Chain A
């Protein structure tokens, strides 16, 4: 189902159609090569030794027994990498390096302390066990409350909180405070007819991609290396790995493997520099692949949190004031997404009076990584729960309340700028008008609504378009394709060039074959890399018009490019097709090719409104998703099936986050559920079909109106589910996940 604003007839031939993706065949026949699928002659197998402690000082590491073992070809520790503190590098670079391999201290269970390369997997596993590490175990902190308590053990000596005036004199585990405010809170709350104040907590959750991290490195005797890895950005992997290795960027070539899911978690490095250093030491290719428990213990997740939200509303449904207080776990190094969470928390609404305070807090857990609209789902859970309670309190429809406050073009966002054309109102109306909104609810069933905002990103992209000798076209980009972006590139190229979709072959090229591309993240690829593809195609068309003019001995102005062929304006010549011009390219100036590199401007923000119908069994506390409906503004859906897929995938992850998923840590600081058996993501039998409405409010800054669609879909689900549970059985859930025991406890508390 698609709702298109204003212009139902786009007149596009390829954009917005449903085609088979170019990489599909390889992926249904088992031919696609993912991170762990590369085998090189003479390749060694690596293994990482990880800390068993949540917080400890490394007293000594003795690798001599491991090095003496048969079949072991290289052993590395922190001492095999440059000391970036000594080198005076930035705090961000130091954190990347220290997270990849511990130096003096281990900061979480699973933190790498050494790695080996051996002739077989089994020998590598035996060799890491032979490494003797002496630790001085330190006290650890696992939650923001523990980390912020007076006298808490400190992860980083001398860390002073940024963003606080006056600057604190004593170090703490609070890396930074961010503040956004406007208007007068007291005045706003005084104007309210109803005020609700609640506290919420959430647990860390993992991105849960099915493909574990994997990397193969081959370092030559000339000191240059090639790295194959599955990531969301091979240019970023090159930069990070070279930072850790102390190398110039040009020494390392990174070839992207197919990526088996990322959701933000593969925008950072873990194994890559270790594989390169092991290969350099051994003089042979080395493969490193994580086991699933390593993925859980040492990569991702997103932040756990504690939040306080106070909001006031008039009886007419106008929000008069909002105070949002957020404390997010960053894991072992500063950098939680609390800043983004702060900026997004109230971005659905047009507000006069608010204060948003965010604290970035280090704890002895794995360093958090981006996870789909990083931070926004967490603060939305709190804010949208309170908005729901206010709506119910004043007796107003939850969508009408949101419409009464909705951000629109010209609204000043809480983080500063005025909103350009955005589609929140259209998504709210799409849900209100959806037949599911009127569907009857059964006993113990409730309906919950929530909306969400995500900025979307632009950033740097490059593309090259080659016209082959017969008029087929190769589109080369450097953006790893996680969910069908090659198809979107091909559709936009087909539309722009006016040729058939299947005449175009899109390729994701390595770091030495195409210009720089930022990561596949921030919902940016269809927008930014797409813009680079369209610009390259436009340059190709310019060249084709010039060549036709040369052929016809006329002015370029007299040549038009229509439906994939050059036409003489006066109709005096038969048209020249792309194939005609390509086959004679040698006579009109040589091969036909163009590229574009850009930093995309005019990013279109994304909004989503969602509705969950949940049934709760009051005897067991088990929740069942009866019906789920999502409406999201795509700007323009280039590839509608894969846009729907992004919507549905975000919702499914959000339902998992709402109902099941959490990191469980023991008091010893060790994760207790580091498998897919105990960390339970939704399976097919947990979910119904997920009904989607693609709302299209075109982004005026993109040639085809694209807004990013990958992330905002995960922002509303936790609140939508919580609000539905409230409707079903009357309890207001303040903690995620809303698992059966926690729902039962809430029901018992209530009675």
Chain B
């Protein structure tokens, strides 16, 4: 079976990979592109551990077929930091102890970035609903919410 060629922009780089038609974007990112940051927690779009930004929208990469990425712009957790500087969300997660095991962290960071990109000053309730598609079993969410609040404040101060 011949494989399909896909070209898209991943974390700012024009990227080519070969894939089967029914391979998920998540598996293509992990197996073909070598970006292991997005995780599979459920494979059914319920846990958000595989979240990536596709053309700016937070997307479960386990629910997208890899060929659907053709011509799109993808951002994964590996693309959040600005070269040598962590994204304020990453720094806030570290400072607030917003992770325990860390398996859900890439998805939360991506989903939180999507939120703050469209709403720089969210209320606690808005943050909780924006992140309701991401499961964390360790933290009880308290410190994650506080980290997003801190990062939002930092981003507004930088703006």
Tell me, yes or no, whether B95 is within 8 Å of chain A by CB: yes
The reply to whether B132 and A683 form a contact with Cβ atoms under 8 Å apart is yes
Tell me, yes or no, whether B74 is within 8 Å of chain A by CB: no
Q: Distance (Å) between the CB of B143 and the closest chain A CB?
A: 6
Q: Distance (Å) between the CB of A297 and the closest chain B CB?
A: 14
Partner of B136, one of A29, A210, A289, A689: A210
Q: Distance (Å) between the CB of B151 and the closest chain A CB?
A: 11
The reply to whether A675 and B46 form a contact with Cβ atoms under 8 Å apart is yes
Tell me, yes or no, whether A335 is within 8 Å of chain B by CB: no
Q: Which residue of B lies closest to A642 (CB)?
A: B97
Contacts of B137 in A (CB 8 A): 207-210, 261, 263, 649, 652-653, 681
Which residues of chain B (99-119) have a CB below 8 Å from chain A? 99-106, 109
Tell me, yes or no, whether A482 is within 8 Å of chain B by CB: yes
The reply to whether B39 and A260 form a contact with Cβ atoms under 8 Å apart is yes
Q: Which residue of A lies closest to B96 (CB)?
A: A641
Docked Cα-Cα span, A34 to B101, in Å, equals: 10
Tell me, yes or no, whether B42 is within 8 Å of chain A by CB: yes
Tell me, yes or no, whether A615 is within 8 Å of chain B by CB: no
The reply to whether B104 and A210 form a contact with Cβ atoms under 8 Å apart is yes
The reply to whether B42 and A24 form a contact with Cβ atoms under 8 Å apart is no
Partner of A261, one of B27, B46, B103: B103
Q: Distance (Å) between the CB of B50 and the closest chain A CB?
A: 11
The reply to whether B109 and A28 form a contact with Cβ atoms under 8 Å apart is yes
Contacts of B93 in A (CB 8 A): 24, 28
Partner of B37, one of A29, A262, A651, A685: A29
The reply to whether B99 and A33 form a contact with Cβ atoms under 8 Å apart is no
Q: Mark A680-694, 1 if CB is under 8 A from B, else 0.
A: 011111010110000
Which residues of chain A (203-228) have a CB below 8 Å from chain B? 207-212
Tell me, yes or no, whether B13 is within 8 Å of chain A by CB: no
The reply to whether A687 and B141 form a contact with Cβ atoms under 8 Å apart is yes
Docked Cα-Cα span, A484 to B142, in Å, equals: 16
Q: Distance (Å) between the CB of B102 and the closest chain A CB?
A: 3
Tell me, yes or no, whether A259 is within 8 Å of chain B by CB: yes
Name, among B109, B142, B144, the residue most crowded by chain A CB atoms within 10 Å (CB to CB): B142
Contacts of B76 in A (CB 8 A): 30
With A28-B99, A676-B44 as contacts: A684 and B141 at CB distance below 8 Å: yes
Contacts of A211 in B (CB 8 A): 39, 41, 101, 103
Which residues of chain A (156-214) have a CB below 8 Å from chain B? 207-212
Tell me, yes or no, whether B12 is within 8 Å of chain A by CB: no
The reply to whether B100 and A684 form a contact with Cβ atoms under 8 Å apart is no
Docked Cα-Cα span, A684 to B131, in Å, equals: 6
Tell me, yes or no, whether B78 is within 8 Å of chain A by CB: yes
Tell me, yes or no, whether B127 is within 8 Å of chain A by CB: yes
Contacts of A212 in B (CB 8 A): 40-41
Q: Distance (Å) between the CB of B21 and the closest chain A CB?
A: 11
Contacts of A687 in B (CB 8 A): 128, 140-142
Tell me, yes or no, whether A20 is within 8 Å of chain B by CB: yes
Q: Distance (Å) between the CB of B94 and the closest chain A CB?
A: 5
Tell me, yes or no, whether A510 is within 8 Å of chain B by CB: no
Q: Which residue of A lies closest to B36 (CB)?
A: A37
Docked Cα-Cα span, A708 to B95, in Å, equals: 23
Q: Distance (Å) between the CB of A336 and the closest chain B CB?
A: 22
Which residues of chain A (454-499) have a CB below 8 Å from chain B? 482-484
The reply to whether B97 and A645 form a contact with Cβ atoms under 8 Å apart is yes
Q: Mark B117-149, 1 if CB is under 8 A from A, else 0.
A: 000000011011101111111111111111000
The reply to whether B46 and A641 form a contact with Cβ atoms under 8 Å apart is no
Contacts of B36 in A (CB 8 A): 30, 33, 37
The reply to whether A292 and B44 form a contact with Cβ atoms under 8 Å apart is yes
Tell me, yes or no, whether A434 is within 8 Å of chain B by CB: no
Q: Mark A11-28, 1 if CB is under 8 A from B, else 0.
A: 000000010110111111
Tell me, yes or no, whether A303 is within 8 Å of chain B by CB: no
Q: Mark B46-70, 1 if CB is under 8 A from A, else 0.
A: 1101000000000000000000000
Q: Which residue of B lies closest to A679 (CB)?
A: B46
Tell me, yes or no, whether A258 is within 8 Å of chain B by CB: yes
Q: Distance (Å) between the CB of B40 and the closest chain A CB?
A: 7
Q: Mark A261-293, 1 if CB is under 8 A from B, else 0.
A: 111000000000000000000000000010110
The reply to whether B97 and A649 form a contact with Cβ atoms under 8 Å apart is no
Tell me, yes or no, whether B33 is within 8 Å of chain A by CB: no
Q: Distance (Å) between the CB of A480 and the closest chain B CB?
A: 10
The reply to whether A684 and B97 form a contact with Cβ atoms under 8 Å apart is no
Tell me, yes or no, whether A648 is within 8 Å of chain B by CB: yes
Pick 27 A–B contacts, CB within 8 A, sort by A: A25-B86, A27-B99, A27-B102, A28-B86, A28-B99, A29-B90, A30-B38, A34-B39, A37-B30, A37-B36, A210-B39, A210-B47, A258-B102, A258-B103, A260-B39, A260-B102, A261-B100, A262-B101, A292-B43, A483-B100, A484-B100, A642-B97, A652-B141, A676-B42, A676-B47, A684-B131, A684-B144
Closest 8 CB pairs of A and B: A30-B37, A260-B103, A652-B140, A27-B102, A648-B140, A641-B97, A676-B46, A483-B100
- In the complex, besides A211-B41, A482-B101, A644-B97, 13 extra interface pairs with C-beta distance below 8 angstroms are A21-B94, A24-B93, A28-B102, A29-B78, A30-B36, A31-B37, A122-B20, A482-B100, A641-B96, A648-B140, A676-B46, A676-B47, A687-B128
